[in-house]
Structure 1
């Protein structure tokens, strides 16, 4: 079949965007098709797929926003939320004239509606902020990688996360395979973050994402890391943390209203029409 596509990234967490406004082009969005698109040797290559579809085209969706981010992991599995992806999604809407950046607007996701705000004053391109909602800090568990085991804070920021503080980011090894974790706590899988402190309210992280492997960045993971660090610091709110990821830097503000706001860049880098023959 022939279909339009775009490629974008947020701090090098990259995505294939599939415009499918009324939902008739890609139907149920087959998991094997998504995985093939994301394959870095046999497809376009990406950490996930963002289908651009109207909320009204999905009968099970309740959203105040006109547009819904139908996000899939690189293996084709469904994910609740993607913090970097929603910035890329919002940038696409603005560039196509489907949303107005002069005022906040709503993007629907499986983790509920997200309010997006554009700051166009940045000389390097717009900085996009997303109200990610209220995080849920739960218990602790253990994660293991490269022969090491750490205690990990359970934080839910739309997706489940296990946040482990380590001495060096390299202690987690190559992350070519999924780290071990407690499947009784995370029966549907978990994103695992390895974190080092770089300074006051400044951390760096690596992440292994369920369904995708190690990625250059994870927006919900950066939020989880900021929350876990703030909890460990006993930081009063409002507080803002800088989070360095392999693909760049984002900032996470945890407000007095308990909401977390993720701010960072996004970029659309390619577009085309594909005749899919695989």
Structure 2
């Protein structure tokens, strides 16, 4: 693939979940898996959890493609979506592989309408039909997770102590389990109050991150659905807090900060 000798980029983050944002609406920038990995490399590239490519759309304000640090594609990314809301400004609608989402920049943050969650086993997707409210599976002390698709697939384990879970070891095992044909994001959560959750996430294709917007959405939905909490829910992640609002039958609204760190130009990537 022919690649531009250089490209401009923006470094942004949402609660420490960091992104390289490339605006290719005016000048195309070719990105494939290998180039995404090179850009995301923290030693020899720019460094990020995900790369976000903004391209023109014929139907909405922009087309957004999310690349994980390992070069794989992600259907959706909540924290990156808030950053895109800040980048585009005002109110906007964008297309992603996970569907159309609505963005609204608000002060130093943004609210994103992530669409409706999906619970059918074949829309998670899972390898075979089971009750997605409580999967009949276990990995050591982690058992009976809920499964939710919020633009990308998640499993959610409710535990007494999120810090006591060896997520760096169990996360990749669960992510690559045969039950999940498209792999899966792994969430471990503790209920801290009627409208409060604590959360750690192993992100598919990225590993442990300081925050995961879609993980917060999926976990809040699973907790509301099972009667553990009530909406709106404040989700505490290692990088900070997000507020998730959802009622059964409706769409998920996520509110939180988004930060522009710097703008630069890269050569040789």
TM range (shorter): 0.7 to 0.9
Q: Structure 2 length as normaliser, TM-score? A: 0.87
How far apart are residue 10 of structure 1 and its match?
0.8
Aligned to 2:49: 47
The number of residues matched between the two structures is 251
Distance 2:198 2:209 in 1: 14
Q: Structure 1 residues 244 and 25, CA, compared in 2 at 3 Å: closer, same or farther?
A: same
Quote how far apart the aligned CAs of 1:263 are.
Answer: 0.6
Instruction: Kindly report the root-mean-square deviation, in angstroms, between the aligned alpha carbons of the 2 structures.
Output: 1.9
Cα distance in 2 for partners of 1:149, 1:256 equals 26
Where structure 2 has 5 or more consecutive residues not aligned to the other structure, the ranges are: 121-131
Alignment of structure 1 residues 193-208 onto 2, 5 Å: 193-208=187-202
Q: Which residue of 2 aligns with 1:59?
A: none
Q: Which among 14, 17, 23 is matched to residue 10 of structure 1?
A: 14
1:201, 1:240 within 8 Å by CA — same for their partners in 2? yes
Equivalent-residue separation in structure 1 for 2:259 and 2:222 (angstroms) = 28
The answer as to whether partners of 1:132 and 1:259 remain within 8 angstroms in 2 is yes
Secondary structure at the aligned position of 2:262 is classed as strand
What residue is the counterpart of 2:184 in the other structure? 190
CA distance in 2, matches of 1:40, 1:188: 26
- Equivalent position to 1:128, from 71, 96, 110: 110
Question: How far is 1:45 from its partner?
Answer: 1.1
Q: Is the 8 A contact 2:158 2:190 kept in 1?
A: yes
- Structure 1 equivalent of residue 215 of structure 2: 221
Shift in alpha-carbon separation, 1:246–1:255, aligned structure 2, 3 A: same
What secondary structure sits across from 2:81 in the alignment? helix
Inter-partner Cα distance in structure 1 for 2:19 and 2:138 = 27
Secondary structure class of the residue paired with 1:233: coil
Aligned to 1:34: 36
- Cα deviation per residue 1:59-108 (whole Å; 9 max; x = unaligned)? xxxxx3121111111111111111111111121122xxxxxx1xx32122
Q: TM-score, normalised by structure 1?
A: 0.84
Paired with 2:266 and 2:222, the residues of 1 have a C-alpha distance of 42
Match of 1:68 in 2: 63
